Structure 1
Amino acid sequence: MQKELPNISIIIPVLNEENYIQKVLEKIANNTTSNQIKEVLVVDGGSTDKTVHFAKKQGAEVISGPKGRAKQMNLGARKASGVLLYFLHVDSLPPVGFDSKIINLYLKNSEAGCFRLQFDSSSLFLRFFAWCTKINQPICRGGDQSLFVSSAIFNELGGFNENYIIYEDNEFIQRLYKKTSFKIIADYVQTSARRYMKRGMITLQYHFAIIHLKHYLGQGPENLYDYYRRNIAL
């Protein structure tokens, strides 16, 4: 028996993102090709700019909660009513038909997956790392690629680990790989290269690699955040 078409809850964590929130919400509206978007939940962690105003203006439902992306995404998931949860960073733009592509995979018994990545930059350095996102291994995953997961699997795994101030996407996706047959959709989410432009492409990628290494060597969320705070969040 074929599954019934699932509806989708889109969850976007934000904090002072007035320059990006309208663009991503417009892209969602323009690139939707099904009638299965149940809701768009913008989870705000205490913005002091016009993020909330612009989100409401675009018709999104705004939820206010504590700061911290893992906490914000978990709050959005608790409020969501969709069969599928689609977590999207505010500066990552989904492709045309993203919703239909997610639904098609779900109907083929795939309960978790993401898109490939494309930066809004012509840098060959960034293009190489974006190319790596076609490889279906946990080391090649990240929140910028967006993430869909069935609400049932999300709840079974307990959601994002709120001890992680950073690396929360990677840690959760690694648990998804152990639980499900994780799929990569052959289309691209376009994400901003703003962090690379600010910190330097090679420097930032080096620090991300060290954070990956620290995690694989068994260091916990406090150590990862301390490294991030000292080397990236300047």
Structure 2
Amino acid sequence: MKISIIIPTCNEEGFIQSLLRYLNGLDAHGLLREIIVVDGSSTDRTVAHAKLAGAIVLSSDIRSRAVQLNLGAEMATGDVYYFLHADSLPPESLFEDLYNTIDAGFEAGCYQLSFDKSHWFLRLNAWFTRFDCEAFRFGDQSLFVTQNAYHKIGGYDQKLTILEDNEIITRLKKKVKFRLLNKKVVTSARKYIACGVFRLQFSYYLLYLFYKLGGTQQFLLKTYRVLLGKSWSSSG
């Protein structure tokens, strides 16, 4: 079994090189096929750093995680795709976890969540990710899926610019065996620091509620920008 890691980026020079070195250092058993970075028109040194660290770098004219991740999957040659944010670190047992989970008959899954900042409200939010409920499944937890399962469901829905990660997991769980692993991805709390912990999380709760009530992507994106401004891209 070979694993392709796919990372969407946009202006991630502060994270990408150290992440790629970390990932390459975990592959003790030769399970890693390739790391594909799909860049959404970065204006910093993300692309240069990714190439220097040995990643395959693709360019996307559209800055959208769904589009970028699908583009990466189209080029991937591994048996398993592992979708990861540039500011998130999976456990050191990543490759063994994926191998053992797939070998046990599961076709997709994700980790639980933790943050790199100690704050009681962030710890509380992360605590809820231990429950196997779609309301607590988002892209920061990363996602692995076999090539066959990915193509069975048609990949990410490129019509979505918000909550594309939650939507694909919901579809996967209806079609294949999905496992929530009892380990954690450590993700950056930078957005919480910049926007305010309570403001950002309230915004996420509100957006998810509107999404479940049938809000259009246009409405969700407009709400997102009203609540948080235009500075946070939907990629990376």
Distance in 2 between residues matched to 1:226 and 1:51, nearest whole Å:
28
Give yes or no for the alignment of 1:99 onto 2:95: yes
Q: Displacement, 1:182?
A: 1.6
Q: What corresponds to 1:3 in structure 2? A: none
Q: Which runs of 5+ in 2 are unaligned?
A: 231-236
* Higher relative contact order, chain-length normalized (CA < 8 Å, sep 6+): 2
Q: Which amino acid aligns with 1:62?
A: V
User: Which residue of 2, 13, 17 maps to 1:7?
Assistant: 2
User: Which residue of 120, 137, 142 maps to 2:138?
Assistant: 142
User: Which residue of 35, 42, 49 maps to 2:44?
Assistant: 49
**What's the CA shift string for 1:196-229, capped at 9, x where partnerless?**
0111111111110111111111122222111112
Q: Which amino acid aligns with 1:16?
A: N
Distance in 2 between residues matched to 1:221 and 1:172, nearest whole Å:
15
Q: What corresponds to 2:33 in structure 1? A: 38
Q: Which amino acid aligns with 1:167?
A: L
User: Which residue of 149, 152, 159 maps to 1:153?
Assistant: 149
SS in 2 for 1:161: coil
Larger CA deviation: 223-232 vs 117-126 = 223-232
SS in 2 for 1:196: helix
The sequence identity of aligned pairs, in percent, is 42
Q: Displacement, 1:139?
A: 0.5
Distance in 2 between residues matched to 1:7 and 1:113, nearest whole Å:
16
**What's the CA shift string for 1:141-166, capped at 9, x where partnerless?**
11000000111111111111111112
- 5 Å-filtered alignment, 1:84-123, equals 84-123=80-119
SS in 2 for 1:117: strand
Q: 4+ residue runs of structure 1 moved beyond 3 angstroms?
A: none
- 5 Å-filtered alignment, 1:157-168, equals 157-168=153-164
Q: Which runs of 5+ in 1 are unaligned?
A: 1-5
Larger CA deviation: 86-95 vs 148-157 = 148-157
Give yes or no for the alignment of 1:203 onto 2:231: no
Distance in 2 between residues matched to 1:190 and 1:130, nearest whole Å:
10
User: Which residue of 53, 57, 60 maps to 1:58?
Assistant: 53
Larger CA deviation: 175-184 vs 202-211 = 175-184
Distance in 1 between residues matched to 2:222 and 2:148, nearest whole Å:
33
Give yes or no for the alignment of 1:233 onto 2:229: yes
SS in 1 for 2:48: helix
**What's the CA shift string for 1:147-202, capped at 9, x where partnerless?**
00111111111111111112111111111121122211111110000000111111
CA contact (8 A) 1:21 1:51 kept: yes
Q: Which amino acid aligns with 2:216?
A: G
TM-score (norm 2): 0.94
Q: What corresponds to 2:23 in structure 1? A: 28
Q: Which amino acid aligns with 1:83?
A: D
User: Which residue of 193, 212, 218 maps to 1:222?
Assistant: 218
Distance in 2 between residues matched to 1:53 and 1:215, nearest whole Å:
37
Count of residues in Structure 1 that have an aligned counterpart in Structure 2 = 229
